[in-house]
């Protein structure tokens, strides 16, 4: 008898196939976590003159991260990969709903003066010029790009997921600053604005213009501090801050994507050479920036290892468990659209306490715009779906659009901060895969976030001050 070779047992390091169980687990757990976050609701407590405000959008990430990091019932790599396939559609859907709120207010941009436009320039380059070199010096790697190319609010987070994927260092930088800003951004803006206002270095209206950071809670934190210092100008401060916030959502996002990110990448390579970062780190960033290696691709390290004789790259960690590739094809796509729509409606009902048939109609319209944006991004790969959908949603809801009134009626009952909760829960759940990478960032991402917020306010207020005094 011929000897039969023993069958190879599956290795713990090898990725397991994605099963129906993985889809069920990630859908049920993320929806449950989102429901709990909505039930907890909004809570705030005061720290001196400022307030820390915690929203469901923060709770859902914290609870999701607990599920992903706990070791009693660890999530399988195949479950994380199934969740990975559900995230992009939900994030594009979130921006579609955000865009429907921008379109009706587009006419207000005509009121924007030079001071408001210049503070946008300050926000764009303040972090890149001032914060990026310090982040590189701290050894954050490519996460420094994500942490400092913009102030990293919700629209930037959605873009980072779409552009880089949740495995890329750039995404981890964006996510870290976004999470810190979501939890402590309002109190930080209140403190830094109060400090600058109390020093009498800037005109209060310059500081008001600098508060258009793309986050309502952060803007309100700064407005509260300025209003206490200048009660006679409270209404004017609020109006300018709100207008600045609107322009940041319209102009700032595109400026960050098409100007800020490319500039940050080039300056990152420059500062890496100045501070003599490892050759492999610089070469990796160069290959990604030139499109020679896919962003967020796990094969980056392997491709670099093949160039080891030239750049000295380290071999990938052979002991690290590998998640299977994110599933592709029409079945995962249909699942992602159904999940985003149904879960979004469910959580919107839980959060608002009401449901109307027009909400379902509005969700169908948003999903249609999401599908068109994703289709366009595949045809024109240089522009991600997040940019397409925000542009499309803004255009179809401008006052000159013949369908603007109908779309506004359909989506009026949908809360933008509730619709995207399940995908944020999945992002938190998937942190277990990147536990080591996030641990290495730790205190560095906190410093990067503080630098980003401070540089944004100071640079924007400084440039606005030039025109306020004219």
Tens digit of each residue's pLDDT (9 = 90 or more) over 20-45: 999 999 999 999 999 999 999 877 66
Confidence at residue 282, expressed as pLDDT on a 0 to 100 scale: 62
Helices 169-198 & 435-468, crossing angle to 10 degrees?
A: 40
pLDDT on residue 275: 84
Given a cut of 80, whether residue 339 has pLDDT beyond it is: yes
Tell me the CB-side half-sphere exposure of residue 205, using CA atoms within 13 A: 16
pLDDT on residue 470? 56
Residue 302 has pLDDT above 60, yes or no: no
More confident residue, 454 or 198: 454
pLDDT of residue 281: 59
Which two three-digit tokens encode residue 76? Answer: 């399988």
d(CA 328, CA 255): 31
Instruction: Specify the pTM.
Output: 0.71
Least confident piece of the model among 111-125, 206-220, 343-357, 359-373: 111-125
Collapsing DSSP to helix, strand or coil, 328 comes out as coil
Residue-level pLDDT at 373: 94
- Phi/psi zone of residue 314: left (φ > 0), alpha (ψ -120 to 50 degrees), beta? beta
- Do the beta carbons of residue 208 and residue 223 sit within 8 Å? yes
Q: How many CA atoms lie within 13 A of 44 on its CB side?
A: 14
Residue spans of beta strands (DSSP E) within 279-346? none
Residue 4 pLDDT more than 70? no
pLDDT of 11 over the 50 cut = no
How confident is the model at residue 32, as a pLDDT?
A: 97
Q: Closest Cα partner for 211 from 247, 250, 257?
A: 247
pLDDT band at 1, cuts 50/70/90?
very low
């Amino acid at each position: 008898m011929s000897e039969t070779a023993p069958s190879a047992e599956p290795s713990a390091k090898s990725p397991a196939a994605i099963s129906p169980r993985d889809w069920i687990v990630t859908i049920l757990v993320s929806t449950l976590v989102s429901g709990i976050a909505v039930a907890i609701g909004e809570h705030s407590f005061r720290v001196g003159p400022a307030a820390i405000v915690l929203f469901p959008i923060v709770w859902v990430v914290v609870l999701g991260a607990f599920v992903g990091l706990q070791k009693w019932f660890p999530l399988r790599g195949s479950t994380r990969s199934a969740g990975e396939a559900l995230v992009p559609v939900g994030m594009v859907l979130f921006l579609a709903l955000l865009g429907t709120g921008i379109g009706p207010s587009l006419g207000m941009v005509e009121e924007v003066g030079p001071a408001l436009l210049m503070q946008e320039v300050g926000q764009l380059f303040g972090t890149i010029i001032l914060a990026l070199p310090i982040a590189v010096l701290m050894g954050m790697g490519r996460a420094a790009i994500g942490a400092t190319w913009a102030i990293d609010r919700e629209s930037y987070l959605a873009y980072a997921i779409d552009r880089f994927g949740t495995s890329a260092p750039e995404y981890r930088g964006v996510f870290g600053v976004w999470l810190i800003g979501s939890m402590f951004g309002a109190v930080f803006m209140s403190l830094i604005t109060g400090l600058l206002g109390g020093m009498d270095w800037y005109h209060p209206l310059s500081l008001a213009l600098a508060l258009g950071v793309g986050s309502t809670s952060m803007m309100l934190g700064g407005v509260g501090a300025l209003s206490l210092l200048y009660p006679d100008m409270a209404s004017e401060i609020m109006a300018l801050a709100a207008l600045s916030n609107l322009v940041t959502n319209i102009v700032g996002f595109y400026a960050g994507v098409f100007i800020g990110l490319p500039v940050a990448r080039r300056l990152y390579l420059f500062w890496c050479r100045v501070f003599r970062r490892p050759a492999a780190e610089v070469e990796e960033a160069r290959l990604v920036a030139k499109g020679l290696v896919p962003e967020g691709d796990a094969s980056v390290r392997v491709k670099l290892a093949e160039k080891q004789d030239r750049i000295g790259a380290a071999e990938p960690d052979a002991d690290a468990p590998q998640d299977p590739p994110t599933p592709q094809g029409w079945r995962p796509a249909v699942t992602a659209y159904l999940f985003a729509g149904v879960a979004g409606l469910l959580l919107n009902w839980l959060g608002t306490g009401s449901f109307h048939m027009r909400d379902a109609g509005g969700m169908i319209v948003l999903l249609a715009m999401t599908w068109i944006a994703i289709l366009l991004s595949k045809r024109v790969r240089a522009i991600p779906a997040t940019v397409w959908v925000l542009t499309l949603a803004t255009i179809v809801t401008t006052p000159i659009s013949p369908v603007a009134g109908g779309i506004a009626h359909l989506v009026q009952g949908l809360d933008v901060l509730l619709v995207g909760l399940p995908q944020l829960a999945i992002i938190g759940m998937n942190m277990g895969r990147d536990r080591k990478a996030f641990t290495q960032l730790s205190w560095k991402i906190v410093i990067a976030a503080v630098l980003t917020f401070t540089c944004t306010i100071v640079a924007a207020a400084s440039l606005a001050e030039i025109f306020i005094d004219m």
